A = this chain, B = another copy of it.
Amino acid sequence: MSDTISAPLPLRSVRVTDPFWSREMDLIRTAVIPYQWDALNDRIPGAAPSWWAHNMRAAARAIAVKKVGGGYAPVQQNCGFVISPEEGKPPMEDGFYGFVFQDSDGYKWLEAVAYQLMVKPDAALQKQAQEAVDLIRAAQEEDGYLNTYYSLTGRDRAFTNLKDHHELYCFGHLTEAAVAWKQATGKDDLLDVARRFGRCIFKRFGPDGERGCPGHEIAEMALYRLYEETGETEWKELAQRFLDVRGTDPSTFALEENRRLKKEGKKELPVTAERYRYYQAHKPVRDMDEAVGHAVRQMYLASGMADEARLTGNEAMRAACERLWRSTVHEKMYVTGGVGGTHVGEAFSRPYDLPSDTAYSETCAAIGLAFFARRMLQLRPKAEYADVMERALYNTVLSGMALDGKSFFYVNPLEVDPAACETDERLSHVKPVRQKWFGCACCPPNIARIVSSLGQYIATQSEDALYIHLYIGSEIKATLNGREITLKLDADLRKGSARLTVLSGEGSGTLAFRVPAWADNTRVSVSGAQATACADGYWLVSGHWQAGDSVEMAFDISVQAVAASPLVRETMHQVCYTWGPWVYCAEEADNGKNLHLLRACPEKKAEAQFRDMEIDGLTVPALTVPGKRVTVPDSAPLYAPWHQPETEETKITLIPYFAWNNRGKGEMRVWLEAE
């Protein structure tokens, strides 16, 4: 199996030239990163405070006091899941505030900065990031432990609530940031912080330690990354240990709950794992077959599992990943690449339960799906993985952020009526406009880190092959059988062409082109190549390549009308439109109110017409499609003898989903009633 394994290229080896994505990446650097730095420092007027820098500074002071033997005692605070200053009082200088996992916000920001620095050096930005790194270093305890919540509210309680208190989650994000920072700057400072914390965790929960695993996964994939970066096997062992302990009896989550209950003199719980489905800790990971519980956690766990399958060749783990993939993608994914059908627990719902208006579809969960998809691609290049990764990246990941990079969606519904969201508690999780920042601000910095590292999603390489997964214009430095070769990827979706041209260097091997699900009649023309063959949805072109050589893929691309499986109740009789990787939606700004009265005519999809539309300074390819509008007679009775409703011809204007809600508040629908 190992011959199917590939790896992303180093971020420095992929220079994105595509105008759309370059703009997104620039936006992250010029708008999002500075904005988020202000947010981490609580300097955004009117936005919920992050408390990140506050907590780090407070912890650093506390630790400094401890180091000089000052007899530091934590400030007395209520130890809830989220802590706010007492009403009417200013925050205490030495108090912890925000969610228990607040440390992770800054780590994610640092990771995004590191990616940006790899793409484009920036001394001022690096200096700012170094400040953050130094602050983090100062907040680390002598034994390597690093978590401002526990340092400030009672270190003695550390590691007693892995299920809910996210210490290992914060460790995971720290590690991701540390590896990125090392790769960007060559500096070991943050990496050493992560390793020291890692060794502290290894000592406690490693193969010879206490059984334990993260309540919110990410440490698994972060540890594999740390292992790949450093070659130190302890990180692989710790990741494996977390995966092995997870979902086995007696449940470590139950055991830690019971220790607390016992202390309080309360009745203890049964210690069977099955109760922890929400945490994906209900059965051994290798037995899992359904994506369940909190969607982000499930995607992060699956990503770590795919890393293990790749790095250990464990077949049972690979099979479990494939089952989780099928469950996610074939039963529980929105057409926009979003996952998480219910706001109750921000979770996966039952199969085929994909409501449009009450959707959760958290931005972070789509990011998690892209992580999972990329890791499945690394295991084996199969076009379906890339199709899904692309769907998530181009639609739900981007819709999480306004076109100006200054406001964000946590929840990405497929149907919005602002009047309903604003008055109906059943929709209280659905915001009709993007928010500046969130108290629980997982999504904004997560967008920053994935968009900044886009280069790692475009292509992967194995010893003798370069796989092109996304058709995003770029310059790629690859290695084919040990020889470095620089290629240029051009793609013009409107024209239906993509081309790889060798700019410099030479080498022998395979250039592989994904056949996207949205392309028809793909054909490959090659100058000087041996043969072409298609496997798992990739055209494989083998040859010896040198400067001036090029391979061109041509394809037919057209506007698609898409139907969901009839098992999805919500979208019966409905249709949505896609073009290439983009999913389209109708907005009130173009189509007026009561979008549910629109009826699309999918049989006339060939009549769809593009027109450039400028939205907040960005030109997007809008579509007009033929349709009808149900007319509502004056004083229509609520119930009347059945008849086909009266309609009038209309043109329906659609815009790419990612660009919705950049023209003020209004209705939006992805799925339209079909004629």
Establish whether residues A350 and B572, one from each chain, have CB atoms under 8 Å apart when the complex forms: no
Kindly specify which of A140-148, A247-255, A422-430 makes contact with the partner chain.
A422-430
Interface: A645 (CB within 8 A): yes
CB contact between A641 and one of B426, B560, B573 (< 8 Å): that residue? B560
A567-B594, A573-B673 given as contacts; is B344 within 8 A of A425 (CB)?
yes
Is A329 close to B, CB under 8 A?
A: yes
- Chain B residue nearest to A350 (CB atoms) is B423
Instruction: Give residues of chain A (350-383) contacting chain B, Cβ–Cβ below 8 Å.
Output: 350, 353, 358
Complex CA–CA separation, A170 to B335 (angstroms): 52
Residues 509-546 (chain A) with a chain B CB within 8 angstroms: none
CA distance A420 to B423 in the complex (A): 25
Q: Report A575 CB to chain B, min CB distance, Å.
A: 5
User: Given the complex of chains A and B, what is the CA–CA distance between A567 and B420 in angstroms?
Assistant: 14
* Known A563-B640, A565-B636, A566-B645; contact A673-B344, beta-carbon cutoff 8 A: no
Q: A567-B636, A596-B572 are in contact. Are A642 and B674 (CB under 8 A)?
A: yes
Cα distance, A596 to B333, chains bound together (Å):
20
The reply to whether A562 and B639 contact each other, CB–CB distance below 8 Å, is yes
The answer, yes or no, to whether A419 is at the interface (CB within 8 Å) is: yes
Question: Which chain B residue lies CB-closest to A566?
Answer: B630
A557-590: which residues lie under 8 A (CB-CB) from chain B? 560-569, 572-573, 575
Docked complex Cα distance between A637 and B358 (Å):
23
A632 at the interface (CB under 8 A from B): yes
Do A639 and B424 have beta carbons less than 8 Å apart? no
A602 beta carbon closer than 8 Å to chain B = yes
- List chain B residues, Cβ under 8 A from A605: 642
A55 within 8 Å of B (CB atoms): no
A187 within 8 A of B: no
**Residue on B with the closest CB to A330?**
B638
Q: Is the CB of B573 within 8 A of A596?
A: no
Contact flags A123-144 to B (C-beta < 8 A → 1, else 0): 0000000000000000000000
Interface residue range, chain A: 35 or more
Q: Cα distance A567–B419 when bound, in Å?
A: 14
A643 interface contact, C-beta 8 A: yes
In A169-217, the 8 Å CB interface with B consists of none
CB distance from A415 to the nearest CB of B (A): 9
Beyond A602-B642, A632-B566, A639-B564, is A344–B424 a contact (Cβ under 8 Å)? Answer: yes
CB of A269 closer than 8 Å to a CB of B: no
Say whether A331 faces chain B, with CB atoms less than 8 Å apart: yes
CB-defined contacts of A303 to chain B, threshold 8 Å: none
In contact, B637 and A330 (Cβ under 8 angstroms): yes
Encode contact with B along A637-667: 1 for CB under 8 Å, 0 otherwise: 1111111010000000000000000000000
Shortest distance from the beta carbon of A224 to any chain B beta carbon, whole Å: 29
A613: interface (CB < 8 Å): no
Give 4 closest A-B pairs by Cβ, nearest first. Answer: A561-B642, A602-B642, A563-B642, A344-B425
5 other A-B residue contacts (CB within 8 Å) besides A330-B638, A349-B424, A563-B645: A330-B637, A344-B424, A560-B641, A562-B641, A567-B636
Name A's B-contacting residues (CB within 8 A): 329-331, 333, 335, 342-344, 349-350, 353, 358, 419-420, 423-426, 560-569, 572-573, 575, 594, 596-597, 602, 605, 630, 632, 636-643, 645, 673-674
